[in-house]
Structures are given as C-alpha cells and as structure tokens.
Structure 1
Amino acid sequence: MIGWNALVLLAASSVALAAPPPSPPPTPEQVMAIPPEVRTLLQERVLGAANSPEQRLQRLVELVFRPEGLGLAYDTGATLTVAQTWQQRRANCLSFTLLFVALAREIGLEARMQEVGQVVSWYEDQGLIFNAGHVNVGMRVDGRQATLDLDSNVLYDRRGPQPISDSRALAHFYNNRGAEQLAAHDYVGARAYFDAALRMDPRFVPAWSNLGVLESREDDLDAAAKDLDTALSINRFHAPALHNATKLYQRMGDSRRVAQMQSRLEQIRKRDPFYQFMQGTSAERDGDYALAAHYYREAVRLYGKAHQFHFGLARAYFLGGNNRLAMKEMKRARDLGGEPMRAVYQSKLDGIRRLEARHAAR
C-alpha cells in the first residue's frame, strides 16, 4: 500500500559511523524497464498464442498470476521496480500496477495507472488496515473499461479509481521508497527519494508531508514547518499532513497553530466515513456495542452503499442484543454485497432468524 505519514521525534545518536554513500534512486526508465527474458515470455505465451486484445489480456493475467508464470504474491511492503517484481515474484498494489501497465503496453493494450484517495482493506492475519492512498490498473479493451486490482479485499472511497499520469504513479513509487528509508533512519537516502518524488510531481502532497517528517527528525523545525505548510497549501484537508503538522507545532510550542490543525482534522473526521467506520471497529473490539453502532451509523449515513458498513452495524446490533435491527442491516448488506458476498450475508441472516425463532418458541 502507499503513503507512510507519521511524525516520529528524532532519537539522538551518540556515535557517528562512516557508512558508504547510499545508492541513488533508480531513474524512471529503470523503474519501468522490462527485462529481456520477460519480453521473450510475452512473445511466446501472449502474442504468439492470442489474436484479439481480449485474448491477449487473458493470457497476460495468466502469465502474471498462475504458478507456471510469475505466480505473483501480495506483499504490502514490496515497493519494487518492474524487474525486481518479476525476479522476486511479490508486489504491493503499486508494484503490481507498474508491472502490469508496463507489460500490457508492451503487447499493445491500452493500460493506465489509477489512484484511489483512500481505502480500507481486510486481512485475516492483520485485521483492518486504513490507507490514505491506493493505486491500481485501468484497462480499455474492445471499447470496454475494466479495473484490475491486486488487492481483492479493498473498499474504495466514493470517487473510486481515477486515472493519473505515469509521473504521478512514479511519485508514489519514490515516496514509498523514501518512507521505507525514513523508517530505517537512513535520512540521506530518504531525502533523495522524496526529492525524486517531487521531481515527478511537484504537487505530490504525501512527499511534502513526509519530507516535513524528515526535517523534524533532523531537528530543522523551520524547514519541517515550511514543507508541511506547502503540503497543506496544496490540500488543506490532507489528514496525514494535518496530523504531522499538529505534532510538529506541539513540539514548537505554537498552541495557536495546534488548535487550527486539530480543528481542521476534526472537520475531516466528521465527514469521513472511513474514520467513522474505523472508530466503530475499535469500539466493537472493546465490547462497547452501543458506541460501535453509533459510529457505524455515521459511516452508513456518509457512505450508504458500502455493504461492509452495513455489516458492521448489523454486528453491533446483534452483539448488543437487538436482533430486529441486526436483520434489517444484514439484509441491506446482502443486497449491496453482490456475488459472492450475497451468500455469505444470507447465511448470517438465516442464523439470526433461527435465533429469533428459538427465542419466540420459549
């Protein structure tokens, strides 16, 4: 996933050790380069076995996902070049998008990068993950539009995927890499990647926000404030930048600016169905089902077509002992979920009905 945005105070280092200079970021051409052996496979398994664009797309999907091809596996931390993705057989949503778009264009298909403002993803081993950014592949085949996403357990925001330029997609790449270097305390390497991201897209808010975090870690608070002000001048409601700015101004003792940032954050949260939903899941985990239902109702009010939100509200009602309202929300989740979720929700709805029948028979 994309977008690391967290402010962490600088930890003092007592010893300065000489280290080799970090490798410079790969050029855009190096990021997107297709290895010669992959071009050979495209000729043999795709172009040589398919005539129509639809057939080529199907063959490409098989080449990327089937074990006898790439057998691509999902890895949230794998921000890789096209060649590295092929070699390592793993990718996050960004690496997959770069790879698939490059290969699709190589075989003559119309492919583009797409961006989603924010998403919530579901993982059994990690729970819920909120991301302030996501990318996927947009295709146009025989006059029909299609979206390909490596992450199948994802709920998009209301706008859904929007086409972006290759430069902006590469800004995501460099920003991700910079965030990884920042987390590893390699500030020289992180700066090089953030600078590369901003060369690709000077208005890329996440890179300005993360650069502000970097400057803060290096104790240059004035530079950090300038970077975060730049981020917020481009998008004054960018929640991660507001969060980082709040922490920075708290550190600087600027209570007036802290109050401004917190007020703006609160405005965003009141209008953000994903924030309300995440608050609901937190209350549900804590066993406060009345509070969970409150937050889930707000999420539904703000984004009524998300079946996951209705399912959350149904759970809160059920766990709070209100089976009648639980059934109502479960029906709505079923009707919005489509296949295969319809069968899952119908099964849960039948279970509530059986409980109600037992209680009525007593």
Structure 2
Amino acid sequence: MKTPEKLEPVAVNWSSTGLAGLKRTLLGLLLAGLLGCASAPPQPETQIDFSWLLSGAALFDAPIDTAALPEDDILGLAPAMRQYLADVAPQASPQQRLAALLRGFEHREFTVEYQPDKTLTATETYRQQQGNCMAFTVMMVAMARELGAEAYFNQVEVPPVWGHEESQTFVVYRHINMVSESPRGRRVVDFNLAAYDPVYDQRKLSDTEAFAQYYSNRGLEWMQQGDMPQAFRYLRKALALRPGDSDLWANLGAFYSRNERFAAAEQSYLQALQLESSHTIAMSNLERLYRKQHKTAQADYYAERARYHRERNPYYLYYQARNAYEHGNFKDAKRQLKRAIWQYEGDHRFYFLLGLTSYRLGEFDDSKTYFTEAFSLADSPGTKQAYSRKLNYLKSHP
C-alpha cells in the first residue's frame, strides 16, 4: 500500500491468459525454522489480554468507545464523479467504458499525484488528485464498478516495505492494485507498471480485507501526525474487520511502542506471532523492545529467531537480491540468489534474475543457462511473454 518510489499517474497491464501467481508454500521450511531456532524463550511468554489491548486503556485515561470507531465511506462516489463517469462512453459495454476511462488517465485528462502518506477514500482521491497506491486503487475500484465492470482489490507480494515510524520499530505496508476480469482476459491497473511485475505472487482480496488495510494505513498516518486517539481508532477498526491478521497486530504493537507502552506492545507482537509464527517483523520489533528494556536474553532469542527465518526463507533472499540488483550490486545479488536457489529450486523468478545478474557481470554463457531454466519453469504464457519483453529490451539497451 505504500511504495518508496515516485510513481506516474497510471499504468495498465493486459494479459489474455491471466497472471499466474505461483503460490509456493514454505510450510516445511517454516516448521524447520521453528524447530531449529534457539530452544525456548528465556521465560514463559506473556499472557495476552485482548480486552485491555483493544480498549486502548493502556494509553488513554478511559477505554475508547467502540461506537466512536471510524466508518469511512471508502468506495463512495461524489456527484461530480458520477457525472464524470456518466459521460465516459455511455453506449459502450462495461469493459469498453473502463478502457475509455483508463485512456483518459493515460492522456492526462485526469491525474493523481503519488503521495506515500495519503491513504484516502475514493472521493477524497478524486478531489485532491493525490494519494498512495491504496487511495488510487480505492478510487479505481469504485469507478470501475460504477461503469458496470467487474473489479477487485489485488495484493501484490512485492518486496516487503518496512516503514520506520519510530526509531528502530518497523510497521507493515502492502502493495495493492486493481484487477478487472472479463472474457477477454485480465486487466491490471497499477499506479506504476514499474512497481508491478506479473511474476510476483498476488492474491485477490475481499473488500473487507482491503478495507482493513485501508484503516491500518490511515491509523499509522494519524500516528505520524501525533494524533494518538485517532490513530488508535483507525487501527482498532482494522482489527475489528480482520482480527486474525498478523500484520494488523504488528502495527498495533508499533503504535503502543511509539507511545512507550511496552507491555501492550509486547502482547501485540506476541499475538502477531501466534497468528503467524514466521512473522519476522514482529520478531524484530520484539527484539528491539526487549533491548530497550535491557532484557538481553529475550532480545537475543528473538534476534536469532528472526535471523534464522530470514536466512532460510528463499523469498526473503530473493527480495534482498532484487534490491541489490536494482542498486547495481550484482555480485551481492548473485550471492543471495545462489542461496535462494539452494533453499528452493522450483521458482523461475530466481533463475531469471540470476540470468540478468550474470549478464550484467559479463558471464554470458551462464546467463543463457539461467534464462533457459527460467523459461522451462515458468508455466504461464503471460509470464514467458513478460520475460521475452524484458530480454528484448535488454538487447536493445545493452
């Protein structure tokens, strides 16, 4: 939902065959990681008091009234928006109308400026002409549905974006775009096609899941602005929608940690880990939390546990390699990719990036071998076409 790059107004990707997200389960690796970590915490883990955490009593003089939780009209359209959409190819089919709307964006009839800390409703995004990827996607989903087109929220597993909202404390952001499907195929609408890659794993979100991320994003923004009651209300609303989402509990922990309510932060992070035992952000934040309190044994335990999971998660290694590649550190990228492939040999993305890396290092024979392996593992014509376009671009821009 929050990306570090400056993005252009709109980009659209067509695939007639769909974008095959390769869902590779790491259950075996994660179980091995849990068994291989330092045996047990130095002391019994804290009992989680959900009523206390969700009431806000740890920070505020009185519990927050749940009736005061926000109810943003996330997908609501202002009259001006409905009028604008009514004039978009009114006699055409829903998909043709959506295509006409997107052409209007591409021709800059209407623009949205990227602002990373602006999670807005559809109407707010339209009026302010700015927002982050969540704001843009909210607006596009609302507009597409108004035109009669099928549209849903799509979470893209881009390399993790961790924000430092407090010194040495991480929060979780996810990248979201819009997908519209029709008999012609699958259309992806993203703030910037450069930030979207069809070989990334991705997952359709229900409106409830997307709204929970919206409220969490906005809660963190209120926290940045120093309005803690409002920040808590939005984070609390997110958890009301999705109480089983580990990311939301980790963000609540960051909120409590920011306000030096360390017992509440600890419980929030532990709940994130109960929901997802491999949640490395929660582990890292627990380490920092215990380090602040001079609880060295506990801090060392979670530091080792986080390190163990990261070094044995091939996708973490892949994302590290991608970052190194994009910064021109090709030798480091190659080293990380070799480690990723040693952990898991079945993902075409590892080999394709290793092919690009080898090419940049002048190892042309090796690059051909890795590209060949990537194409053999890719089971989607759309993915192979994307790879072919990248290779053609590479040849034309040596």
TM-score calculated relative to the size of structure 1: 0.73
- Paired position in structure 1 for 2:250: 209
Q: Which amino acid aligns with 1:87?
A: R
Does the CA-based 8 Å contact 1:246-1:257 persist in structure 2? yes
1:69-148 correspondence to structure 2 within 5 Å: 70-119=110-159, 133-142=174-183, 144-148=185-189
Q: Which residue of 1 aligns with 2:11?
A: none
Moved more, 85-94 or 145-154: 145-154
- Confirm or deny: 8 A CA contact 1:3 1:176 kept in the other structure: no
Change (3 A) 1:71 1:333: farther
In 2, distance between residues paired with 1:305 and 1:286?
18
Provide the rounded CA distance (Å) in 2 between the counterparts of 1:311 and 1:192. 48
What is the letter of the counterpart of residue 37 of structure 1? A
Aligned with residue 239 of structure 1, among 258, 280, 283: 280
Matched, 1:341 2:390: yes
CA deviation digits over 1:225-257, x for unaligned, max 9? Answer: 111111111112122222212211222333443
Q: How does 1:311-322 map to 2 (within 5 A)?
A: 313-314=357-358, 317-318=361-362, 322=363
Pick one of 10, 33, 39 that aligns with 2:76. 33
Query: What is the distance in 2 between the residues matched to 1:81 and 1:91?
Result: 9
Q: Which has the higher contact order (CA 8 A, sep 6+)?
A: 2
Match of 2:190 in 1: 149
Instruction: For residues 170-227 of structure 1, give each alpha carbon's deviation from its aligned partner in whole angstroms, at most 9, with x where no partner exists.
Output: 1111111122222333322321221121122112322211211221222221111111
Q: Which moved more, 1:323-332 or 1:148-157?
A: 323-332
Give the direction of change, closer, same or farther, for the CA distance of 1:132–1:333 in structure 2 (3 Å limit).
farther
CA distance in 2, matches of 1:278, 1:119: 5
- Does the CA-based 8 Å contact 1:117-1:132 persist in structure 2? no
Question: Cα 1:34–1:288, aligned 2, differ >3 Å: closer, same or farther?
Answer: closer
How far off is 1:312 after superposition? 5.1
Alignment pair present for 1:200 and 2:244: no
Q: Give the superposed CA RMSD.
A: 3.4
SS at match of 1:137: strand
Contact residue 356 and residue 367 of structure 2 kept, 8 A: no
TM-score between the two structures when normalised by the length of structure 2: 0.67
Percent identity, please. Answer: 25
1:248-259 paired onto structure 2 within 5 Å:
248-259=289-300
Q: In structure 2, do the counterparts of structure 1 residues 306 and 94 end up closer, same or farther at CA, with 3 Å as the change threshold?
A: farther
Tell me by how many angstroms 1:267 deviates: 3.4
The correspondence of residues 150-165 of structure 1 with structure 2, limited to 5 A, is 150-154=191-195, 160-165=201-206
SS of 2:220 mapped into structure 1: helix
Determine the C-alpha separation between the residues in 1 that align with 2:181 and 2:386.
25
**Compared CA separation, residues 347 and 314, structure 1 to 2 (3 A):** farther
150-159 vs 84-93, which moves further:
150-159
Shift of 1:281: 6.3
CA distance in structure 1 between the partners assigned to 2:351 and 2:113 by the alignment: 27
Residue 273 of structure 1 and its aligned partner are, at CA, apart by 4.1
Shifted more, 179-188 versus 298-307: the winner is: 298-307
